[in-house]
Amino acid sequence: MAEFMATVGTACMLIPLLLIAGKGVRRVVRLFDALYLPTAIIAGILGLLLGPQALGRFFAEGALLDHGVFPEAVYEAWSQMPKLLISVVFAGLFIGKPMPSLRAAWESGGPQVLMGFTISFGQYAVGLAVAMLLLVPLFDANPLTGVLLEISLSGGHGTAAGLAPTFAELGFEEGQDLALGLATIGLIAGVVLGTAFVNHAVRSDRITIAREEEPEGDEGFELSAIQDNENPEPVAPKTTADPLSLHLGLIAAAIGIGYLLLKALQLIEQHTWAAVTGDLVAYVPLFPMAMIGGAILQVVLKAVGVQAWVSRDLINRISGTALDFIIVSAMATLSLSSIGRNWAPFAILAVAGIAWSVFCFWALAPRMIPNRWFEKSIGDFGQGTGMAVSGLLLMRIADPDNRSGALESFGYKQLPYEPLLGGGLLTALALPLCSRLGPGILLAVTAACCVACIALGVTFFGQRRG
């Protein structure tokens, strides 16, 4: 036990060192800075290159560096981190955030909700169609490959890593490596393309945008430093406990509530629909329930009058640290052989997924978002190709002073969107549903949902364009 704890401690200490090294590499290689490549991605790549799949291949078995720079036990510990830490990230999504009225949230964030649903349901439909028409018949790919786009692009690295047990239980272990690779490609492509879109909008006379000059490559936006609020809630009054410890306690409480909800849902399933559908909730990981637990905890904190004690900035920092650890550990343990064996399906999926997000941005967003569509939908584009913080980054680039109100609309969007998609319950259930129902039925359902969201957005909100 002592040896195990020492290994875990070493693995945790090495990740910040890789992050420091990644920051140094980013400062030296200015291209990484110009592309807004997150330091955590660079650090994860360094961990991968220094490991058994890269450096270790140059040494014979039994040599000092046959497993790379770091011990094998460290990589084993890293491989377990993402599925544990992802609950920390999701548990903090709503803690410390004021809950708006439903009417205010819908008026401001409704178009973003429908756009987010359109992108996510469309990623399922596009991915499943590509899998059924090309990947399965031509490359003998696993039919579950069709659901990877939403898990990877809208869900991001954390979701892809957090679903490791589900991939394993369904016999699709290589799916996690493909999902992590797609998440990396999507994050980089989304930020690069999004920045190019802003440059184009600034030069175009046909697009109204708050930004008046093209962004410079050295503007200094760091993905992990982007926060989701402009005015953090005040920190709790001084007590005998450290504020960080108290906020870690809030995260733990949210995860605990989520665990109880998950167990209750599993118990309900056993006595109701399990006889017809079989066990589905058993495949639901803890992290989407931890997110709901955080929302419940926030309601309780507000009800008892202690919401002002919660620092949203501190919750963000805890979640950001956990996300950095997830990205580094997941990237460092990524299986290159899995991607190599499936490089053609991987490339086709990546192109199809990014093309769908680009189509949604340029063709659908102007028709579904009634005002300031560019600044608002650039956030949806970023989230639909990477994660929420990359959407926030692109909105900061497009509108540094938030004159369009895009940040508020984007925040309201997360309330109905995050519990379901982009790492929510539907994302967690997509793999078992595809396995049980088959890709054809899931394709029909997700395509219908996508079309319905487009129709609602165009007819309900699009007609309000002013």
- For 188-226, the pLDDT digits (tens) are 888 889 888 988 888 887 877 766 666 665 454 555 555
Residue 26, pLDDT score: 84
Q: Give the C-alpha separation, 380 to 374, whole Å.
A: 10
Residue 343, pLDDT score: 86
Residue 362, pLDDT score: 94
Q: Which of 227-241, 348-362, 452-466 has the lowest mean pLDDT?
A: 227-241
Q: Would 13 be classed as within a structural domain?
A: no
φ, ψ for residue 177 (rounded to 5)? -65, -40
Q: For residues 162 and 287, is the Cβ–Cβ distance under 8 A? A: yes
Residue 41, pLDDT score: 81
Widest Cα–Cα separation across the chain: 70
Q: Would 15 be classed as within a structural domain?
A: no
| Backbone conformation region of residue 62, classed left if phi is above 0, alpha if psi is from -120 to 50, else beta | left
Residue 232, pLDDT score: 45
Give yes or no for residue 97 having a pLDDT over 70: yes
Q: Would 419 be classed as within a structural domain?
A: yes
Q: Would 163 be classed as within a structural domain?
A: yes
Q: Would 276 be classed as within a structural domain?
A: yes
Number of folded domains that form the chain: 1
pTM of the predicted model as reported, rounded to 2 decimal places: 0.79
- The parent domain of residue 433 ranges over 85-217+232-464
| Beta-carbon contacts of residue 179 (< 8 Å; ≥ 6 apart) | 148, 151, 152, 160, 163, 167
CA atoms within 13 A on the CB side of 378: 33
Q: Would 224 be classed as within a structural domain?
A: no
Residue 235, pLDDT score: 46
Q: Would 165 be classed as within a structural domain?
A: yes
The tens digit of pLDDT for each residue in 325-338 reads 888 888 888 777 77
| Backbone conformation region of residue 140, classed left if phi is above 0, alpha if psi is from -120 to 50, else beta | left
The tens digit of pLDDT for each residue in 345-372 reads 999 999 999 999 999 999 999 999 888 8
Average pLDDT, the chain: 83
Q: Give the C-alpha separation, 311 to 321, whole Å.
A: 16
Q: For residues 326 and 89, is the Cβ–Cβ distance under 8 A? A: yes
Report the pLDDT averaged over residues 122-127: 96
Residue 231, pLDDT score: 45
Give yes or no for residue 250 having a pLDDT over 50: yes
Q: Give the C-alpha separation, 296 to 2, whole Å.
A: 37
Give yes or no for residue 63 having a pLDDT over 80: no
Percent of the chain clearing pLDDT 70 (strictly above): 87
Residue 218, pLDDT score: 47
The tens digit of pLDDT for each residue in 266-294 reads 898 888 877 666 667 777 778 778 888 99
Q: Give the C-alpha separation, 376 to 399, whole Å.
A: 9
Q: Which of 129-138, 346-355, 421-430, 431-440 has the lowest mean pLDDT?
A: 421-430
Give yes or no for residue 33 having a pLDDT over 80: no
The tens digit of pLDDT for each residue in 137-186 reads 999 999 999 999 999 999 888 788 888 888 988 999 889 889 989 988 88
Q: For residues 403 and 140, is the Cβ–Cβ distance under 8 A? A: no
Give yes or no for residue 448 having a pLDDT over 90: yes
Q: Would 1 be classed as within a structural domain?
A: no
